[in-house]
Amino acid sequence: MELNEHKLVIETLREVDPTRKCYRMVGGVLVERTVKEVLPALENNKDQISKIIETLSQQLQTKGRELNEFREKHNIRLMGEDEQKAPSKESPEGAGAKASSAGVLVS
pLDDT at 103: 64
Amino acid, res. 101: S
pLDDT for 86-95, tens place per residue? Answer: 555 554 555 5
- Domain coordinates of the chain in residue numbers? 2-75
- Beta-carbon contacts of 34 under 8 Å, excluding residues fewer than 6 positions away, are 18, 19, 20, 21, 22
Domain 2-75 classification at class level: mainly alpha
Q: Could you tell me which residue, 88 or 73, shows the higher pLDDT? A: 73
Tell me the C-alpha distance between 88 and 82, whole Å: 9
- Dihedral sign for Cα atoms in the order 32, 36, 41, 43: positive
pLDDT for 21-37, tens place per residue? Answer: 999 988 999 999 999 99
Among 18, 88, 8, 79, smallest CA distance to 42 is for: 8
